[in-house]
Amino acid sequence: MSTEQAEVIIVGAGLAGSIIAYQLGMAGVDVLVLESGPEIPVNRTQYLERFYTATLKTPESPYPPVSTLDTPRDPSKENAPRATIADLILGWNEPKTSYLVQKGPLPFNSTYERVGGGTTWHWVGTCLRMVPNDFRLRSKYGVGVDWPIGYDDLQSAYCRAEAEIGVSANVADQAYLGMTFPEGYSFPMRSIPLSLVDGSFVTAVTGQTFDGLPLVVSPTPAGRNSQPYAGRRVCAGNTNCTPICPIQAKYDATVTMNKALSTGKVRVMYRTVASKVTVGPDKNINGVEFIQYQLGDGPQTGTGVAIGQRYVIAAHAIETPKLLLNSKTPDWPNGVANSSGQVGRSLSDHPIYLAWGLMPEGKTVFPYRGPVSTAGIESLRDGDFRSQRAAWRIEIGNEGWNWPVGDPYVTVADFIDGANNSHTNPLPSKENPPPPTEALYGMALIQRLNDLFIRQFRIGFLVEQVEEHPDQSNSYIVPSTDKLTDGLGILRPEIHYDLSDYTKEGFRQAKILASHIIKDLLGAVELTAPIGQGTFTYKGDDYSFQGAGHLMGTYRMGDDPAKSVVDKYQRSWDHKNLFLVGDGVFPSTGTSNPSLTIAALSFQAGDTVANDLKAVTMQVQANNPWQGTGVQVNGLVPRLVRYVSGLWCASPQGGNVDGKGGSRHIDYSSYALPGAAEGALVGRVGNDGTPFLVGDLAQVPGDQQGELQLCINDDLTGKYGSGLKDNTGALTIRVEFGAL
């Protein structure tokens, strides 16, 4: 068994792990990342070729291991398997083919990747912020669980996340339902233009309401380039965001991980599966055991343990609890970090109600162009109705019927074979008997397809998932009770999944609105039908739901150690050197795609870990001029200066004051910062930097480079008396990582 050491051990090289690795690398921290999947390819052509040649074109098809129907895999023999669409098709509750051991009653329909960069390889790119009331569902509406933080606590982190990802959006389009932005803030890039599909919805719904709320189409903030940004190209409109952007106009986490590697402080061990987290006598984590393997079904190539001062588990809402629960010992019989019993509980998604239709003849919208989605109806994400039923956002799709039907392939096959899998051969009719199917070829086939394809559209309602009793969740993960393992001998995750009546009522209302929009407002033909394995009956009607790929819950944050797994800094209540990050910390799902919030929370967790290891605490003497801190400011790593304690006075006869200084304002030129309070803590960057007020807390200006220097705001030269000479006392300060 080998031993690997670093100051910080990170498990997972997806969105959260990559952001934290980059932050820590920039802070000068030695980082080792353990990634269960294969290396980042030299270029994405390798993955593109896998997609082009795949017979099953699913979100997972470009990425190893192979996902196929004709040669079903055996997850018990694969070294790092993951959930795929193929699993669901072959039988969601069949563990011989499905990596997730699903016990029902409903299927968990979402999938994920285990490769460098994680699931951001095939995400849609939606970068919505949560709305303020998403954080206080319990206190505002009496359901679900409140977050231990609010929207304002994430404001600066959201801005940092938008900059790192490269979000295209306009502030004016996003200022709804209480959402605010810093004064003068603008997104890194302008919004992606609306599609013709979006424009049709704008025309149809403007001035309309539902549940007393207006229907408003808003451009969707997107993690893709509307102009050149960060060395990446402009979106070329391939409508191929899922499963892979061929030109990397869409952000994926490899962008950030490559920057982390360039710091020289970060290294990644790929094809390295974390198998156990170990705990020392002091209750701190003292290692992560791992197993290395070859691609394919080859044998193990090694085992080892990674040892650090801090540990970050960033393996998302299924693989993280699997690891923690598989790490149980006699001293920790419930698994690591699980004194609350909440690890693995409250597994959530955004189950999707999918609806689609065909625009009236002559109304062309030309789908299959542009990103998968460029706009949505966001104005219904919050309201008093949330005391009774789940909220949702509405995504407007640009990819025709690709998702619900499998087009453009299925309709083509229908009109060649005389079949009707798309329900367009013939279209629904009141004729009795109905018209027969047609088998076409040549110009007749071309004309029919051209007529149908240019009128296709779909919408998706992303429904928030809320448990009836959040502390006794009906949706949860445990290690396989049947002792089913993967090829490395690790117990696979056993999934128990269900939807509450609160969530199902959201589906009922979504169905009502979808039909109203499609038939009444658009004047289109609705072709919505049950698809896939996810079906349920509610109040006498049948519903079908899709997985959004938004894995949330299972190690939620909170204020109470008895009811949560981590605190608001994502630090384990049980082990102070362990951080659990990613969407597993979400106490409730809210209504937005989770990626941007994952990124924002990762910045905050990264700050906390960096401060544990590299924050500088020192004293600023009252009788000295500018004093160096040893902290080099480069504008890339945001820094805060915080007054901690201490008092000083201007003379033995004077009164004591803290970092905010005295009550007088003196404009003497020999003061470090004329106009600021006498004796206030002030700073500058470099010898020639412009002084700025610290007081008790300030952010260091990010547009300067050099050493951070501090002093108190007094007569530095003695021009008006004894100056600093008769001062007594000192201020204790802390220079931290983070942003206001």
E-strand stretches of 472-626: 476-479, 493-497, 525-526, 535-538, 541-544, 578-580, 616-621
Residue 68 to residue 64: CA distance in whole angstroms: 11
Confidence of residue 653 (pLDDT cuts 50, 70, 90): low
- Evaluate if residue 558 carries a pLDDT over 80: yes
Reduce the DSSP state of residue 24 to 3 states and report it.
helix
Q: What is the tens place of the pLDDT at every residue in 450-509?
A: 999 999 999 999 999 999 998 889 999 999 999 999 999 999 999 999 999 999 999 999
Local confidence band at 702 (pLDDT 50, 70, 90 cut-offs)? confident
pTM: 0.96
pLDDT of residue 723: 84
What is the spatial distance between Cα 735 and Cα 740, in angstroms, rounded to a whole number?
A: 13
Q: What is the pLDDT of residues 430-443, one digit of tens each?
A: 888 889 999 999 99
Kindly tell me if the per-residue pLDDT of 114 is higher than 70. Answer: yes
- Angle at Cα 499 formed by Cα 495 and Cα 502, nearest 5°? 155
**What's the pLDDT at 407?**
94
Q: Which long-range contacts (CB under 8 A, 24 or more apart) does 84-89 make?
A: 84/58, 84/60, 84/111, 85/56, 85/58, 85/59, 85/60, 85/111, 86/56, 86/58, 86/60, 87/111, 88/532, 88/533
> pLDDT of 204-248, one tens digit each?
999 999 999 999 999 999 999 999 999 999 999 988 889 999 999
Cβ atoms of residues 66 and 87 within 8 Å = no
Report the distance separating Cα 583 and Cα 312, nearest Å. 14
User: What does DSSP say about strands 392-397 and 456-463: parallel, antiparallel, or unpaired?
Assistant: antiparallel
Q: Is the pLDDT of residue 667 over 80?
A: no
Question: What is the pLDDT at residue 238?
Answer: 86
Portion of the chain with pLDDT greater than 70, in percent: 99
b (16+ CB within 10 A) / e for 141-157: bebbbbbbbebeebbbb
Task: Please return the burial class of 413, using the count of CB atoms within 10 Å of its CB with bins 0-12, 13-18 and 19+.
Answer: middle
Reply yes or no on whether the pLDDT at 652 is more than 70.
Answer: no
* Residue-level pLDDT at 252: 96
296 pLDDT band, cuts 50/70/90, is low
Mean confidence (pLDDT) of the chain: 95
Q: What is the mean pLDDT of residues 358-380?
A: 96
Looking at the predicted structure, is the pLDDT value of residue 26 above 70? yes
pLDDT band at 297 (very low <50, low <70, confident <90, very high): low
Whose structure tokens read 């108190």? 712
Q: Average pLDDT in the 65-69 region? A: 83
pLDDT tens-digit map of 594-637 = 999 999 999 999 999 999 999 999 999 999 999 999 999 988 89
Measured CA to CA, the distance from residue 6 to residue 12 in angstroms comes to 15
Bigger pLDDT: 541 or 721?
A: 541
Is the distance from CB of 67 to CB of 115 less than 8 angstroms?
no
Three-state secondary-structure class, residue 198: helix
Predicted confidence at residue 55, as pLDDT, reads: 84
Confidence of residue 518 (pLDDT cuts 50, 70, 90): very high
Residue 706 to residues 317, 611, 641, 683, 701, Cα–Cα distance (Å): 41, 20, 15, 12, 11
Q: What is the mean pLDDT of residues 1-5?
A: 95
Spatial neighbors of 729 by CB under 8 A, at least 6 apart, are 622, 646, 647, 648, 649, 656
- In this prediction, residue 41 carries a pLDDT of 84
Give the mean model confidence (pLDDT) for residues 132-139. Answer: 98
Placement of tokens 């983070």 in the chain:
738
Per-residue confidence at 130, pLDDT binned at 50, 70, 90?
very high
Segment 340-364 shows an average pLDDT of 97
> Given this model, what pLDDT does residue 311 score?
99
